[in-house]
Amino acid sequence: MLLFQPLLAITISVIGCLAADQDILTILRQQNGISTFTGFLEQLPDVVEILNGGIFSVLIPNDDAFSALDKDFPEDDEELLALIQYHIANGTHPSATFGLEPLFVPTLLSNSNYTNVTGGQVVEMAKFNDTPTILTGIKAESRVVEADIFFIGGLIHIVDSVFTIPISLPATITKAGLNNLVALLNKGGFLNPSSPAASIVNSLSDLTVFGPDDPRFGPTFEGWDGLSEADLLSIFQYSIAQGEVYYSSKFKNDTKIMTLNQTPLTMTESANDVFVDAAQITTRDYIVSNGVLQIINSPLDPNNTNARPVITPENSSGSGSKGLSAAAGAGIGIAIGAILLGGALTIALYIRNKRRRRTRGPQGIRGVHDRLDGESQEVIDPPPTYELDTKSIRGGRTVAATTHHVIEVHHPPKPPSPLEIDGTERSRISITITGSPPRHLGFQARYD
Ligand SMILES: *[C@@H]1O[C@H](CO)[C@@H](O)[C@H](O)[C@H]1NC(C)=O
Ligand SMILES: *[C@@H]1O[C@H](CO)[C@@H](O)[C@H](O)[C@H]1NC(C)=O
Ligand SMILES: *[C@@H]1O[C@H](CO)[C@@H](O)[C@H](O)[C@H]1NC(C)=O
Ligand SMILES: *[C@@H]1O[C@H](CO)[C@@H](O)[C@H](O)[C@H]1NC(C)=O
Ligand SMILES: *[C@@H]1O[C@H](CO)[C@@H](O)[C@H](O)[C@H]1NC(C)=O
Ligand SMILES: *[C@@H]1O[C@H](CO)[C@@H](O)[C@H](O)[C@H]1NC(C)=O
């Protein structure tokens, strides 16, 4: 502890403080390295207006991401608009909430030339190797490189690659290299452009497709030999649901999923795995233009709708608890301050160090992050106390008087588990806020 203390200096970055009441373009122009996206957005005043008026997470590829595109972009105005729309996700999603559970968030992209998903095409927000990551078409990964920048309509995450707008199901299967599935579809005659299968996957909205990709059911599979076209089509239709799209966030034990064959599949969840009928879901969530593709390990059988997985104690007693891990739980505790619970109410925060009042002008650091650096000794022992003033802002106007809160920042002597607001290991702190619940706390706390 003694070794630790002098090294630690707490920095509270009050992101919401000054930023939360500023419009998106003002905030973006203050950031380095994202001028390409900012330039595109400047050409789209309608989108800017939507952003400032709503509650969004804007996912912004940096300039390097745009330079890395291997084609000239954009080809035309429609493509530009579609791509920008696909980078704007509904609701505020602080980076600390990524990866706690599967999260598929609709975007503004609903242009029928690109997507046929009710409510808008989705992005997946996840976490890989502790890095908040966004997955898009063909499981393209964009890592968040700078998280949780607030503006009046929500928050911004800067990412390291441009999203891939999800493409059609057949194109996804091919590009993802799901060769056993391609072979199996070919055996069923489903790849024939005149097959009803082709029009199903290309023209219907909101599909969930369970596609087997397994060497046992690839080029050498003979189990379908001799089946009539009608039988083959019934297998195909029994593998597809239309309506609610079953992303992995919707997986739930005992769910009945009505298929195009008019008989339902049954979902079963064991400790570690999810099954539809007896088939295990082996790869989750290829987002496609009109829904999602879930990969399973054997074909579904419309003649055996009662098939269920055999779950032995061996493979069901795994440690893969569905509950949140302790670290994830801590993440929630910390993130709670940054979660917008809905409504147009935004509360901007002002945090000052009570004992060593350091006043930085309203400009703060470039007007975005208002930093408060405490010296280690003073900050660590006894626990520092901060005064937190909140004020409510609606549409840029202050609607309520400033409210005053006192916050104590606690931290254990030795950080027992990381605080992962931005994917980097941090010491744990806990912040207790009293008073009526603020709706939107734009802050991050970190040890520097
Ligand atoms: C967007 O999020 C809001 C809540 O933040 C919700 O009420 C609304 O239904 C969402 N819209 C879509 C299309 O998901
Ligand atoms: C879809 O594409 C066609 C042909 O390029 C174009 O005429 C049409 O306006 C587009 N639709 C939308 C909604 O942008
Ligand atoms: C989208 O889906 C609907 C209903 O499933 C269908 O009628 C429509 O033609 C589809 N649109 C496109 C562009 O495929
Ligand atoms: C289902 O069973 C019927 C009757 O036995 C059979 O004719 C049909 O080929 C079977 N269908 C499939 C897809 O196996
Ligand atoms: C899933 O549902 C089945 C049938 O209701 C039940 O036997 C099983 O215990 C459930 N599994 C879990 C993990 O809840
Ligand atoms: C569980 O493991 C056994 C062999 O260890 C295997 O035969 C069985 O198919 C497995 N069940 C599931 C549901 O994976």
Say if residue 248 is in the same domain as residue 206.
yes
Confidence of residue 11 (pLDDT cuts 50, 70, 90): very low
116-140 tens-digit pLDDT? 999 999 999 999 999 999 999 999 9
Q: Is it the case that residue 281 has pLDDT exceeding 60?
A: yes
Nearest CA to ligand 6 atom 9: 310
Say if residue 55 is in the same domain as residue 178.
no
Say if residues 134 and 126 touch (Cβ distance below 8 Å). yes
Locate the ligand 5 atom nearest the alpha carbon of residue 316 and give its number: 13
Say if residue 71 is in the same domain as residue 204.
no
Specify the CATH number for the domain of residue 178.
2.30.180.10
428-445 tens-digit pLDDT? 333 434 344 333 344 444
Say if residue 77 is in the same domain as residue 112.
yes
Q: Could you list the residue range(s) of the whole structural domain that residue 147 is in? A: 4-159
Query: In this structure, is residue 254 part of a structural domain?
Result: yes
Report the pLDDT value the prediction gives residue 246, as an integer from 0 to 100. 98
DSSP-derived letter for residue 130 is: T
Higher pLDDT residue, 72 or 351?
Answer: 72
Ligand with smallest separation from the Cα of 311:
6
Locate the ligand 4 atom nearest the alpha carbon of residue 234 and give its number: 13
Confidence of residue 403 (pLDDT cuts 50, 70, 90): low
- How far apart are alpha carbons 386 and 375 in whole angstroms? 14
Say if residues 440 and 20 touch (Cβ distance below 8 Å). yes
Say if residue 152 is in the same domain as residue 27.
yes
382-399 tens-digit pLDDT? 544 544 444 444 444 444
Summary mean pLDDT of the chain: 75
Q: Of 109, 137, 159, which closes a domain?
A: 159
Say if residue 211 is in the same domain as residue 91.
no
Say if residues 180 and 213 touch (Cβ distance below 8 Å). yes
Mean pLDDT value across residues 299-304: 96
- How far apart are alpha carbons 149 and 348 in whole angstroms? 13
Query: In this structure, is residue 343 part of a structural domain?
Result: no
Query: In this structure, is residue 116 part of a structural domain?
Result: yes
Mean pLDDT value across residues 157-173: 96
Say if residues 210 and 296 touch (Cβ distance below 8 Å). yes
Say if residue 151 is in the same domain as residue 10.
yes
Locate the ligand 5 atom nearest the alpha carbon of residue 271 and give its number: 13
Side-chain half-sphere of 410: how many Cα atoms within 13 Å?
7
**313 CA to centre of ligand 6 in angstroms:** 9
**431 CA to centre of ligand 4 in angstroms:** 62
Q: How far is CA 418 from CA 54, 128, 134, 327, 423, in A?
A: 32, 15, 21, 7, 9
Say if residues 289 and 82 touch (Cβ distance below 8 Å). no
Q: Of 253, 280, 296, which closes a domain?
A: 296
Ligand with smallest separation from the Cα of 111:
2
Query: In this structure, is residue 315 part of a structural domain?
Result: no
Report the pLDDT value the prediction gives residue 402, as an integer from 0 to 100. 54
Q: Is it the case that residue 90 has pLDDT exceeding 50?
A: yes
Q: Does the beta carbon of 303 lie inside 6 Å of ligand 4? A: yes
**119 CA to centre of ligand 1 in angstroms:** 9
Residue 46: count other Cβ atoms within 10 Å of its Cβ.
Answer: 8
Number of domains in the chain: 3
- Report, in angstroms and rounded to the nearest whole number, the Rg of the chain calculated over CA atoms: 25
Confidence of residue 404 (pLDDT cuts 50, 70, 90): low
Say if residue 196 is in the same domain as residue 239.
yes
Say if residues 195 and 189 touch (Cβ distance below 8 Å). yes
Say if residue 71 is in the same domain as residue 21.
yes
343-358 tens-digit pLDDT? 222 333 333 333 333 3
